[in-house]
């Protein structure tokens, strides 16, 4: 038997029909995640053609993108941005009811950002194929599942047939060696890798993250990394399941329980790259050299270490400098901050909130800074409140909000003002992503919190040392 | 979308690298539940000034480019989100083909499913097409060539199945539904 990669094993295990001369493969989808923004047109197609959802049990829906992050009023009404947003949410509620799909809506204690909620429930499992009409579906690759984003037409395909037509991508290994230094987070590593691979470096490939630095990451940290593999252009990101994965999943609602779990765990652990398997491409990253890292430009590949200076201006980055209004060759630290956002499917999990709270405990954010902390799910919100993190945020002067995508893409109206600089723990710093003319600096939760306190982009290690002393 | 053969149109240059889906259509216009009417928001923040008037410096707003159907964009076009609203908006704005040196996977996939050609050419060919922006060019899907008066034709690759779907109007959902027996067998074998 030839040695194969993790990707190859996942692909083979889901082939309903192999690709043939000029024809794509038919791939079976184990889990289809649905949210309000990219699904309405797909349900319309089902209605037009008189089709039903083939596997409602393999379909799981939530409300996250356009939901307000302020609480409902006493009469149950909510602060929707506009009527269209509310209509979109109501359309998903109706579609799920009509087609027999489980929806974690406002009344569910499990509602959350789609890529936060599904792993929490144990719906995301190793060895699966997982799709969603959302590019950050790559997040679920952290569990050794082949997970990728699809468009609305394909959402319709999966609803109706539980399958997708696919052309086989290439494979790329990103080998990360050594240990991350103290005070350096998974987000810093992720941004560092995005800087090395570039925003289109992974195009056409599925990336597998490997090496001792990856094995040392917690599941939450692995999700942060795989989440942003799409920012490297990759079709998907993968990390092979191991003991960390198994222990994280044990006892969660959708996984098998008792002896059946042990049997499942054995099956899951077989999803790994064989010793001598060959990747189409591979690159090596030295984890020991990673520092707290932020973006300075208008794509996630334009990164800089927090204590370093920006690059010189050249033909390729003039537009980014113009938009960001930052000085070439000046340090990024010290740039004035208007808004800080801790949230998104990249960094809204309990560990992220703890990282931010550790810095804010006993401190106040700068007078001119507005800070939003938005937990990724109802469960995280409850856990954080049980630990008292919400009180730390409020005491520091930050706003503690209801779960949702919020300022990650601003669809619900959580945006900044033109020209403002936002230090954000989300995944995209595209022009206008957080509001027209808004400048986004992507960062870790610790860097975001330290910047809120300083009122300027700041190195979190200074705060962390103070805490340790 | 059946019988797609070729397009002949003036080309418009948008030589900016990494044009992401938030530029093609910002998230605030994704609240629709239909596919129609998104064209007015294509490149919204580049195309319209704060007071709602057209930005005279934006290529697609210039009078001579009215009706142009072919966009020659910078490297890595369409990176970012999986929103199919991006090709819907471009098509609604009259764009039927995008040519670049690299096109993001999900965008290209979404584009082809809607009859928007997403074509990758070499940097040299790209530079030559940019130089000739404003001229009429023909994209022939049948011969897989870009033709331009006075220049050698540029051959382009396109996924064979996507090409067949565009030329013959194959309905992909119908193609999948025709495999229902195989899908049922696959499900049966796993449980
Ligand atoms: S948090 Fe942001 S990136 Fe994640 S699913 Fe929501 S909008 Fe998309």
CB B154 within 8 A of CB B146: yes
Quote the percentage of chain A above a pLDDT of 90: 97
Q: Give distance in angstroms: CA of A275 to centre of ligand 1.
A: 35
A160 shares a domain with A180: no
Give yes or no: residues A152 and A17 share one domain.
yes
Among B31, B74, B120, most A C-beta atoms within 10 A, so best to mutate, is: B31
Give pLDDT, residue B191: 66
Residue A256, in any domain of the structure: no
B20–A203 C-beta distance less than 8 A? no
- Nearest protein CA to atom 2 of ligand 1, as residue: A408
pLDDT for the residue numbered A456: 98
Do A215 and A92 lie in one domain? The reply is no
Where do we find the tokens 């395909």? A157
Residue A260 lies in a domain: no
Distance B20 CA to ligand 1 centre (A): 15
Rg, C-alpha atoms of chain B: 18
Report the distance separating Cα A262 and Cα A281, nearest Å: 34
| CA separation for the pair A293, A306 (Å, rounded) | 5
Distance from CA of B164 to the nearest CA of A (A): 9
* Structural domain for A95, as ranges: 6-166
Average pLDDT of the residues of chain A: 97
- Residue A214 predicted with pLDDT over 70: yes
Identify whether residues A130 and A279 lie together within a single domain: no
- Cβ of B28 within 8 Å of Cβ of A162? The answer is no
Q: Answer whether A57 touches B (CB < 8 Å).
A: no
Contacts of B179 in chain A (CB under 8 A): 16-17, 26, 161, 163
In a domain, A258, yes or no: no
- Taking the C-alpha atoms of residue A308 and residue B95, their distance in angstroms, rounded to an integer, is 42
CB nearest B30 (choices: A37, A82, A163)? A37
- Cβ–Cβ of A38/B83 closer than 8 Å? yes
Q: What value does the mean pLDDT take over residues A236-248?
A: 98
Residue A140 Cβ inside 6 Å of ligand 1? The answer reads no
A309 and A446 belong to one structural domain: yes
Nearest-CA neighbor of B38 among B95, B81, B91, B113?
A: B91
**For all residues of chain B together, what is the average pLDDT?**
94
Residue B2: the pLDDT is 46
- In this prediction, residue B4 carries a pLDDT of 74
Identify whether residues A68 and A160 lie together within a single domain. Answer: yes
Output Rg (C-alpha) for chain A, integer angstroms. Answer: 22
> Based on the domain organization, do A305 and A454 belong to the same domain?
yes
What is the helix (H) or strand (E) element at residue A34, kind and residue range? Answer: strand A31-34
Q: Among A37, A165, A299, select the one facing B172 at the smallest CB separation.
A: A165
| Residue A402: strand, helix, or coil | coil
**A112: nearest Cα among A77, A54, A61:** A61
Report DSSP letters for chain B, one per residue: -----EEEEEEEEE--TT-BHHHHS-GGG---SSSTT-GGGTTHHHHB-TTS-B-TTSGGGSGGGTT--EEEE-SSBTBS---THHHHHHHHTT--EEEES-B-HHHHHHHHHTT-EEEE--HHHHHHHHHTBTBEEEEETTTTEEE-TTSPPEE----HHHHHHHHHT--HHHHHHTTHHHHHHHHHHH-
- Say how many CB pairs under 8 Å bridge A and B: 159
How far B66 CA lies from chain A's nearest CA (Å)?
Answer: 26
Structure-block tokens of residue A199: 């925003």
- Return the ligand 1 atom nearest residue A344 CA: 1
Which A residues in the span 384-443 are in contact with B, Cβ-Cβ below 8 Å?
409-411, 428, 430-433, 436-437
> Dihedrals φ, ψ of A75, to 5°?
-85, 5
For the segment A96-149, what is each residue's pLDDT rounded down to a tens digit? 999 999 999 999 999 999 999 999 999 999 999 999 999 999 999 999 999 999
10 Å CB burial of residue B157 (0-12, 13-18, 19+) is exposed
Considering only CB atoms, B33 lies closest to which of A40, A151, A235, namely: A40
Q: Which residues pair with A285 in a beta bridge?
A: A176
Break chain B into its structural domains and give their ranges. 6-190
> Do the Cβ atoms of A189 and A346 come closer than 8 Å?
no
A219 and A151, same domain (yes or no): no
- Report the atom number in ligand 1 closest to the C-alpha of A139: 4
Top residue of B78, B81, B160, B175 to mutate, by most chain A CBs within 10 Å, is B81
Task: Please check whether residues A341 and A402 belong to one and the same domain.
Answer: yes
Nearest residue, CB atoms, B160 vs list A16, A22, A436: A22
- Spatial distance between the Cα atoms of A414 and B181, rounded to a whole number of angstroms: 47
Phi then psi dihedrals of residue B128, to 5 deg:
-65, -40
**DSSP-assigned beta bridge partners for residue A382:** none
Indicate if A359 and A236 belong to the same structural domain: no
Give, as one character, the DSSP assignment of residue A141.
Answer: G
Residues A55 and A130 in one domain: yes
What's the confidence (pLDDT) of residue A375?
98
Residues 220-239 of A with CB under 8 A from B: 233, 235
- Shared-domain flag, residues A115 and A158: yes
Q: Nearest 5°: phi and psi at B103?
A: -130, 135
Query: Do the beta carbons of residue A280 and residue A5 sit within 8 Å?
Result: no
Measure the CA–CA gap between A292 and A294, rounded to whole angstroms. Answer: 7
> Could you say which of 3.30.1300.10, 3.40.50.1110, 1.10.230.10, 3.20.19.10 is the CATH number of the domain covering B6-190?
3.20.19.10
Helix B105-113 with B160-168: angle, nearest 10 deg: 20
Cα distances from B118 to residues A309, A430, B103, B139, B157, in angstroms, run 38, 22, 7, 11, 10
Shortest CA gap A409–chain B (Å): 7
- Longest distance between any two alpha carbons in chain B, whole Å: 62
Residue A252 lies in a domain: no
CATH number at residue A188: 3.40.1060.10
pTM: 0.96
Task: Please give the pLDDT value at position A318.
Answer: 95
- What whole-number distance in Å separates Cα of residue A223 and Cα of residue A373? 19
Cβ pair A123, A389 in contact under 8 A: no
Domain total of chain A? 3
Is residue A217's pLDDT more than 90?
yes
Q: Residue A116: helix, strand or coil by DSSP?
A: helix
Residue A462 lies in a domain: yes
In chain B, whose CA is at the least distance from the CA of A159?
B173
Q: What is the whole-number distance in angstroms between the Cα of residue A409 and the centre of ligand 1?
A: 7
A56 CB-near residues (< 8 Å, 6+ apart) = A99, A100, A101, A102
pLDDT, average across residues A192-214: 97
DSSP symbol at A190: H
Length of chain A: 469
Residue at A248 is within a domain: no
Which of A111, A144, A166 represents a domain boundary (last residue)?
A166
Ligand 1, atom 4, lies closest to the CA of: A345
- The residue nearest atom 6 of ligand 1, judged by CA position, is A405
Name chain A contacts of B45, Cβ cutoff 8 Å. 431-432, 436-437
Nearest-Cα residue of chain A relative to residue B35: A41
Closest CA to A119 of A262, A268, A245: A245
CA distances (Å), origin A269, targets A12, A261, A266, A273: 16, 12, 5, 10
Task: For residue B171, count other CB atoms closer than 10 A to its CB.
Answer: 14
Enumerate the residues of chain A whose CB falls inside 8 A of the CB of residue B172.
153, 157, 165
Which CATH number covers residue A69?
Answer: 3.30.499.10
* pLDDT, tens only, A304-347: 999 999 999 998 899 999 999 999 999 999 999 999 999 999 99
In degrees, rounded to 5, the angle at the alpha carbon of residue A210 between the alpha carbons of residues A298 and A305 is 35
Helix (H, G, I), strand (E, B) or coil at A239: coil
Tokens at residue A123, please? Answer: 């719906």
Report, as an integer, the average pLDDT of A393-398: 98
Q: Which two tokens stand for residue B5?
A: 């053969």
A427 lines ligand 1 (CB under 6 A): yes
94-133 of A, contacting B, C-beta below 8 A: 133
Query: How do strand A59-62 and strand A31-34 relate by DSSP bridges?
Result: parallel
Q: How far is B155 from chain A (nearest CA, A)?
A: 18
pLDDT in tens, A397-451: 999 999 999 999 999 999 999 999 999 999 999 999 999 999 999 999 999 999 9
The answer to whether the CB atoms of A151 and B102 lie below 8 A apart is no
Residue A272 has φ and ψ, to the nearest 5°, of: -150, 160
Question: What's the CA gap between A320 and A431, in Å, rounded?
Answer: 9
Phi, psi angles (nearest 5°) of residue A456: -140, 160
At A454, phi and psi to the nearest 5?
-75, -25
Query: Is A253 part of a structural domain of the chain?
Result: no
Q: Check CB contact under 8 Å for B20 and A26.
A: no
| Centre of ligand 1 from the C-alpha of residue A104, in Å | 17
Is A251 a member of any domain?
A: no
What residues of chain B score a pLDDT lower than 70?
1-3, 191
B183 and A203 within 8 Å at the Cβ level: the answer is: no
Element (H, E) at A264: helix A259-269
């Amino acid at each position: 038997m030839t040695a194969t990669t993790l990707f190859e094993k996942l692909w083979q295990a889901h082939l309903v029909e192999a690709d043939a001369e000029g024809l794509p493969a038919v791939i079976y989808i184990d889990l289809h995640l649905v949210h309000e923004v990219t699904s309405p047109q797909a349900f319309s197609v089902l209605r037009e053609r008189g089709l039903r959802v083939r596997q409602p049990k393999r379909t799981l829906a939530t409300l996250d993108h356009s939901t307000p992050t302020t609480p409902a009023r006493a009469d149950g009404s909510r602060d929707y941005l506009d009527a269209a947003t509310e209509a979109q949410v109501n359309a998903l509620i109706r579609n799920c009811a009509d087609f027999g799909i489980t929806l974690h809506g406002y009344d569910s204690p499990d509602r959350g950002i789609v890529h936060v909620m599904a792993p929490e429930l144990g719906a995301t499992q190793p060895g699966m194929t997982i799709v969603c009409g959302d590019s950050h579906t790559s997040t679920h690759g952290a569990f050794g599942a082949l997970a990728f984003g699809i468009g609305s037409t394909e959402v319709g395909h999966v609803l109706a047939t539980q399958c997708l037509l696919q052309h086989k991508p290439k494979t790329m290994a990103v080998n990360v060696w050594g240990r991350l230094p103290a005070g350096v987070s998974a987000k810093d590593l992720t941004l560092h890798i995005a800087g090395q691979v570039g925003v289109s470096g992974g195009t056409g490939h599925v990336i597998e993250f490997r090496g001792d630095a990856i094995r040392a990451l917690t599941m939450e940290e692995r999700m942060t990394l795989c989440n942003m593999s799409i920012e490297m252009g990759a079709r998907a990101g993968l990390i092979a399941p191991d003991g960390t994965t198994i222990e994280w999943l044990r006892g969660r609602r959708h996984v098998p329980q008792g002896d059946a779990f042990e049997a499942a765990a054995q099956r899951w652990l077989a999803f790994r790259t064989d010793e001598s398997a060959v990747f189409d491409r591979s690159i090596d990253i030295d984890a020991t050299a990673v520092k707290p890292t932020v973006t300075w430009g208008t794509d996630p590949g334009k990164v800089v270490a927090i204590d370093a200076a920006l690059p010189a201006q050249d033909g390729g980055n003039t537009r980014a400098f113009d938009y960001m209004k930052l000085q070439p060759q000046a340090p990024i630290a010290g740039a004035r901050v208007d808004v800080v956002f801790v949230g998104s499917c990249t960094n809204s999990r309990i560990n992220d909130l703890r990282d931010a709270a550790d810095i804010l405990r006993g401190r106040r954010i700068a007078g001119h800074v507005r800070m939003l902390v938005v937990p990724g799910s109802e469960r995280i919100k409850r856990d954080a409140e049980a630990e008292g993190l919400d009180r730390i945020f409020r005491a520091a002067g930050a706003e503690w909000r209801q779960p949702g995508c919020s300022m990650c893409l601003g669809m619900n109206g959580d945006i900044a003002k033109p020209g403002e600089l936002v230090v954000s723990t989300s995944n995209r710093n595209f022009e206008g992503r957080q509001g027209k003319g808004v400048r986004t600096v992507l960062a870790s939760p610790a860097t975001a919190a330290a910047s809120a306190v300083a009122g300027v982009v700041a190195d979190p290690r200074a705060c962390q040392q103070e805490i340790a002393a | 979308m059946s019988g797609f053969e070729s397009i002949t149109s003036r080309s418009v240059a948008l030589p900016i690298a990494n044009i992401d889906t938030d530029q093609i259509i910002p998230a605030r216009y994704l609240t629709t539940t239909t596919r129609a009417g998104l064209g007015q928001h294509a490149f919204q923040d580049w195309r319209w000034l704060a007071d709602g008037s057209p930005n005279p410096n934006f290529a697609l707003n210039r009078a001579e480019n009215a009706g142009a159907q072919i966009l020659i964009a910078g490297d890595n076009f369409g990176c970012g989100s999986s929103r199919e609203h991006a090709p819907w908006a471009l098509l609604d704005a009259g764009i039927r083909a995008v040519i670049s040196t690299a096109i993001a996977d999900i965008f290209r996939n979404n584009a082809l499913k809607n009859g928007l050609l997403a074509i990758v050419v070499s940097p040299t060919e790209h530079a030559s097409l940019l130089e000739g922006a404003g001229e009429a060019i023909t994209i022939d899907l049948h011969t897989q060539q870009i033709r331009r008066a006075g220049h050698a034709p540029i051959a382009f690759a396109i996924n064979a199945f996507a090409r067949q779907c565009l030329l013959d109007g194959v309905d992909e959902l119908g193609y999948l539904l025709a495999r229902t027996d195989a899908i049922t067998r696959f499900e049966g074998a796993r449980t």
